[in-house]
Structure 1
Amino acid sequence: MTDAPLTFAAVLAGGTGSRMGAAVPKQFLDVAGKPVLQHTLEAFEASAAVDRIVLVMAEGHHEAARAVAEAAKATKLEAVIGGGATRAASSLAAIRWIEARPGIGPATRVLLHDAARMLVSGRIIAEVAAALDGHRAATAAIPSSDTVVQVEDGRIAAVPDRALLRRVQTPQGFHLGLIAEAHEAAAADPGFTPTDDCSVVLRYRPEVPVLTVPGSERNLKVTGPDDLAVAEALLRT
């Protein structure tokens, strides 16, 4: 009998949150008495589906991040590492760090999560991780409540069937060998700028299906000041 593969959660906080307009990165802003990052780390620390955590942090903020992790009692946190200039570069930094750990193989599971999604639930984390038992890629996603249109030259060119559309969230989970190979290809392609990790797999490993599991409207991404107010209100409910 072999041991089950380890599951790493890579919490991506490499951005500086310029759209928030604050003096510090948004992951350090308080919501309901705790920094955004603390809420996120606590969620992954509490998940039985996660074995280890690596935090990808913007340069110059590593000590502050470690202080937040201490407040979160994040005993699973193994390292705070530097991010890249893009979201994809930060993902690749986490992937390369995990690959370098002793005893790690291609079946190791990686959950890539935006630190700004501070209200992620234990249910979502567990279901994305569990999906990797039978699939090599999975993501949380929710149906689109709005009609989404394709626009060309300022005019509506097409109206996709809303029933087929989903809004992708994080965590997004992968077998390490798959996501490492896909991201290495993306890094070598100057014509491709991915905004999430599933799109990297879809482009460079299109033969690999990406399973969706139910996300939640509550699993919002804190981007601007209004999102902070919404997150605070949701924490009171």
Structure 2
Amino acid sequence: MTYAVLLAGGIGSRVGANIPKQFIKINNKPLIVYCIEKFILLNEFKKIIVSSPKEYISQTKEFIDEFLPNEDRIVIIEGGETRQDTLLNSIHYIDKIKDCDNPIVVCHDAARIFVSEKLIENCIDYTRKYGSSSPVVSTTDVIVEMENKTVTRMPNRYNLVHVQTPQGFKLTEYKNLFEKLSDDEKSDVHEIIKVYYLNNKEVYIFNGEKSNFKITTPFDIELAEFILKE
């Protein structure tokens, strides 16, 4: 069994809107709908689990009913205080279904609305083969570490990559690895690679896509509007 988890439990304050960024409309369609539409193209997903801030669950359901009324695989659940909490809420939901001992979970940032069908397929295939997977793209700029506006380190950019989603993992293994972490380590987990890294377990890395950027700032909204303009 394979499940999609679309993380949209936060409010996206850096985008500067008065509503969660996933509800911002481009061409009269919310960003969250653009993302969901990519995942419903794949029949492999038994359920597509969409998280939402508690106070916006009703609005999320309204958007689904309006734009995707005939897709019964979509499930709306409450997000958590952090990204990791939201992922764990999704994992608990899948666990309750109990239709498979170790299902594949494909976790994606709902703010990455330009993910391609091929990238999602690759994530599923590599996770099935290797147990976990994540797309990355190479860093092209020089990267420096700073403290108090002073450069403290200049890592070799050829060893650096930007991590993207969708990331895939097998549910039982991920749960077991997360539970092995100390409380301090758990509080410092912000995405799945960290869980594997802290357990000295490898994640299969594959090529991501530059177009699969995460909408985070007002400029990103402008760029998305340009790409999606009719």
- When normalised by structure 2's length, the TM-score is 0.91
Q: Which of the numbers 95, 101, 105 marks the counterpart of 1:105? A: 101
Q: Distance in 1 between matches of 2:182 and 2:95?
A: 16
2:85 matches 1:92: no
Letter in 1 for 2:204: L
Greater helix content: 2
Q: Which of the numbers 135, 139, 143 marks the counterpart of 1:140? A: 135
Q: C-alpha deviations, 1:88-134, integer Å up to 9, x for none?
A: 1111111111111132312x100111111111110110101110122
CA contact (8 A) 1:142 1:166 kept: yes
Aligned twin of 2:26: 31
Displacement, 1:138?
0.5
2:48 matches 1:57: no
Displacement, 1:173?
0.4
Aligned twin of 2:154: 159
RMSD of equivalent CA atoms: 2.1
CA separation of 1:190 and 1:209: change in aligned 2, threshold 3 A? closer
Displacement, 1:198?
1.3
Larger deviation: 74-83 or 53-62? 74-83
Aligned twin of 2:194: 199
Aligned twin of 1:212: 205
2:113 matches 1:118: yes
CA contact (8 A) 1:41 1:69 kept: no
Q: Distance in 1 between matches of 2:161 and 2:28?
A: 32
Larger deviation: 75-84 or 215-224? 75-84
Q: Distance in 2 between matches of 1:74 and 1:201?
A: 37
Aligned twin of 1:127: 122
Gaps of 5+ in 2: none
Q: Distance in 2 between matches of 1:197 and 1:114?
A: 12
Q: Distance in 2 between matches of 1:82 and 1:187?
A: 26
Aligned twin of 1:82: 78
Q: Distance in 2 between matches of 1:162 and 1:51?
A: 39
Larger deviation: 26-35 or 156-165? 156-165
Aligned twin of 2:224: 231
Larger deviation: 70-79 or 128-137? 70-79
Letter in 2 for 1:197: I
Q: Distance in 1 between matches of 2:182 and 2:32?
A: 27
- When normalised by structure 1's length, the TM-score is 0.88
Larger deviation: 75-84 or 91-100? 75-84
Q: Distance in 1 between matches of 2:37 and 2:181?
A: 31
Name segments (4+ residues, structure 1) moved above 6 Å: none
